[in-house]
A and B are shown apart, each in its own frame.
Chain A
């Protein structure tokens, strides 16, 4: 093992990292509102994302009420149902998960974990949040405009998205596209910041191969987002032009409400390619930060180094790269040239290999560990199960011919909720329990946390696991009601009612979590600076919560990788990254 770079604890690269002049806020406004401190911006991002996420959660309850008990709730009609599914999907994928992982966790953790005082461009970082907030407000405003929000489905496929016959065709779709454009502008400002900070502002000794996997996940996801979002950006601009100026980028000759429309010559499939060129990397933009964070949760709470660190890093990079050549697996039945199917099925199934490696390494990290079943660890275990489940059903949908009967059914809904809904949310929740003490200086109540975990995990599994079988049966997605359909037995309707009841229960458990967040802020047990006895730099700050500039007078110096847990011969079962090697009891015991 002598050739393993992270084990050479005496080697500190000679590069000096110059300390930086920080911007110091002068008033309450610039301190807490128009703040340039990444930690405040992170909290602003997280609260905004959670607020709009709660809206999406309520929308999911309304959808489930309609699906479970069709005809019972007269205040939900077919148009509203489509508006609910559209806004639910769009908010959850982009305005909640993307913003929370990158804007929230990215902003808070990157500077602290790499040993920087702040993001390298604090002013741009601040702008990034305010543009994001504007995007969220524009999105939320569509609930109040004439005609309501768009009901085109979160994929916004033209021609349907901009024609009459789809709810929200007047204002909803225009504001939706405007909001997406704003979001991408805001994200680009933040994203450039994260990438440059990781590359340029790491403290002395923090080589790339000593970064915690959380940083690797967020870093790679941000690069991907910077490459993928432009496709959505141009797609949105072109669709907006089609809608407002009557261009025909995506619009062939067609009949609208019985009349030949003014459009002609465009291609609906072009939009789908642009959308999914963004949309598939987007899955990993959400997944990679989750992969990174969960690796650190498992390692810390199992008191064991992450197994196969270098393989984990390369798997993240490989997944990130491969995810740009699989997008058309969302389009197997779109009517694209059918021979594309061979290529995209092959690339899609290849991506399963680095993904599987990550799963193996998570469970192998548990092997011979010292597993503390804390709330973050429980959520990490819940993540592994839901992610393995959702990842494996992805092998059905990625394998072109198997996708044919299953596409556009509830099988797809169950799959993507399991793999990019439940699984990343498990990580988000685990991460909040994990880092809440650093952010606030207090612990979350673990009894409430365990209740929250079990109801959320088991409930979410009961919602989405049986749903796959409705899809196998052939139940289509995006249906306001199933009506009288010969192949759907009445037992399927009972299952739908059951799923609705469980979904409402899981929703209730989130209220317990919100209560815990607020209650612990005032009444939680004081945590101290490093309650989990973790190695990475964010736990070694002189103050908790970390002050402006993070590190007090001097930047930390890093001597080792982030995973020196249970090192043989060491007195404690963890050695912080900034602990000099002289204090290590037995040199080279691991080799």
Chain B
């Protein structure tokens, strides 16, 4: 039977494509190997169901297609069978959901020792901010934005003065240290997306969103925007470079702080010491 054969070939072809396809996920660069494992579990379970359903269907078409004199059975329902299938499906679903929720719990639980850094999206470029020697990012507001203060850092916040600002440049991260990536946007929705990191999250104006990662291998990775943000969405690019600790510090030394960029470091510091008077 040609039809049954073609249906079966669709199932077999899909499995072969899966096995031999040259298109597969990028080599992972962060701690989120658990996400990849969960995807693999899902592939096994769904792949089994897919092949089983289509093979059964192909068999039915092969075995029960119309011939002269053939008459169908009359069989309205079979409660036992229906319940068994429901329970079996429930078990399969639980086998995917449970690891998914466990890994999601890790995903939303940021380690206490994670360094906070900031990524800011705007049409259509990326900027980054790293905490200075005090280890904290200063406050910011979109209303502070000006040509010399593109990230809108609060000028009166002492924590912000030593923040390292990288406007429209590339981000470096040290290997092995957990990072909480705070995400901001000044105009529309964006999404900080590095395929090798597996993690991604939208950036929403008026909110600070986040995800966390721990880079596990060095390299240079493309940053793409994954949330439609207007005409040049596809050109909103940057790079993230994961460095060894020493290379990272060498790079960090060369970056400018907020105070240096605005040329107001002396003024602000004096104001702060006099209590703002």
Residues of A within 8 A of B (CB): 1, 4, 6-7, 78-79, 82, 151-153, 157, 159-160, 163, 165-167, 252-256, 260, 266-269, 302-305, 307-311, 333-335, 338-339, 341-342, 345-346, 349-350, 352-353, 356-357, 359-361, 363-364, 366-373, 378, 381, 384-385, 388-389, 392-393, 395-396, 399-402, 404-409, 458, 461, 465-466, 469-470, 472-474, 476, 478-483, 485-487, 489, 491-492, 495, 563, 565-568, 573, 589-590
Contact = CB atoms under 8 A, between A and B. Distances in A.
Contacts of B10: 385, 458, 461
A243 B26 CA distance: 41
Nearest to A353: B89
Residue among A405, A408, A409 with max Cβ neighbours from chain B (10 Å): A405
A78 B234 contact: yes
Nearest to A409: B226
Given A373-B65, A405-B195, A476-B224, A368 B200 contact: no
Contacts of A472: 23-25
A254 B187 contact: yes
Interface in B1-53: 3, 6-7, 10, 14, 17, 21-26, 32, 34-35, 38-39, 42, 45-46, 49-50, 53
A368 B64 contact: yes
13 contacts: A82-B228, A152-B228, A165-B230, A254-B142, A254-B206, A335-B204, A342-B101, A345-B100, A368-B75, A385-B54, A400-B100, A401-B101, A489-B22
Given A253-B142, A307-B77, 4 more contacts: A304-B73, A352-B93, A359-B53, A401-B104
Nearest to B93: A349
B200 A4 contact: no
Contact of A307 (B34, B75, B187, B205): B75
Contact of B89 (A79, A305, A356, A492): A356
Contact of A402 (B39, B73, B220, B221): B39
A378 B6 CA distance: 12
A8 B31 CA distance: 62
Given A345-B97, A366-B61, A469-B21, A335 B198 contact: no
Contact of A268 (B81, B205, B232): B205
Contacts of B57: 363, 366, 381, 384-385
Given A165-B231, A368-B72, A404 B54 contact: no
Contacts of A363: 53, 56-57, 60
A480 B124 CA distance: 14
B188 A160 contact: yes
Contacts of B189: 157, 159-160, 268
Contacts of B237: 483
A527 B143 CA distance: 71
Interface string B66-97: 10001111111110011001100110010011
Given A151-B231, A342-B101, A360-B85, A573 B72 contact: yes
B119 interface: no
Contacts of B35: 401-402, 404-405
Interface of B: 3, 6-7, 10, 14, 17, 21-26, 32, 34-35, 38-39, 42, 45-46, 49-50, 53-54, 56-57, 60-61, 64-66, 70-78, 81-82, 85-86, 89-90, 93, 96-97, 100-101, 103-104, 107-108, 122-123, 141-143, 145, 183, 185-189, 191, 193, 195-196, 198-207, 209, 220-222, 224-235, 237
Nearest to B233: A478
A536 to B, nearest CB: 16
Given A307-B75, A308-B82, A473 B24 contact: yes
A137 B96 CA distance: 46
Contacts of B46: 392-393, 395-396
B228 A401 contact: no
B188 A335 contact: no
B100 A476 contact: no
B231 A402 contact: no
Contacts of B107: 338, 401, 404
B41 to A, nearest CB: 9
Nearest to B38: A402
B234 A480 contact: yes
A481 B64 CA distance: 49
A252 B60 contact: no
A405 B200 contact: yes
Pick the 10 closest A-B CB pairs, nearest first.
A252-B206, A474-B195, A335-B209, A160-B188, A165-B230, A366-B60, A392-B46, A399-B100, A304-B72, A566-B72
Nearest to A366: B60
B224 A485 contact: yes
B103 to A, nearest CB: 4
A465 B187 contact: no
B20 to A, nearest CB: 11
Contacts of A563: 76
B193 A408 contact: yes
Nearest to B197: A405
B25 A371 contact: no
Nearest to A79: B231
B216 to A, nearest CB: 16
Contacts of B23: 466, 469-470, 472-473, 489, 491-492, 495
Contact of B205 (A159, A353, A372): A159
A114 B200 CA distance: 50
B78 A466 contact: no
B261 to A, nearest CB: 18
B233 A479 contact: yes
A159 B77 CA distance: 52
Contacts of A409: 226
Contacts of A408: 191, 193, 200, 226-227
**Residue of A4, A334, A483 with highest tally of chain B CB at under 10 A:** A334
B78 A308 contact: yes
B74 A338 contact: no
Nearest to B25: A472
A590 B74 CA distance: 7
Contacts of B70: 370
Given A350-B93, A392-B50, A473-B25, A4 B77 contact: yes
A369 B97 CA distance: 36
A583 B45 CA distance: 49
Contacts of A473: 23-26, 195
A473 B26 CA distance: 6
B202 A334 contact: yes
A255 B187 contact: yes
B163 to A, nearest CB: 19
A547 to B, nearest CB: 33
A78 B232 contact: yes
A418 B42 CA distance: 18
A1 B77 CA distance: 9
B226 A407 contact: yes
Contacts of A167: 231
A458 to B, nearest CB: 8
Contact of B187 (A163, A458, A590): A163
A1 B78 CA distance: 10
B86 A491 contact: no
Given A159-B189, A369-B64, A399 B38 contact: yes
Nearest to A303: B72
Contacts of B24: 469, 472-473
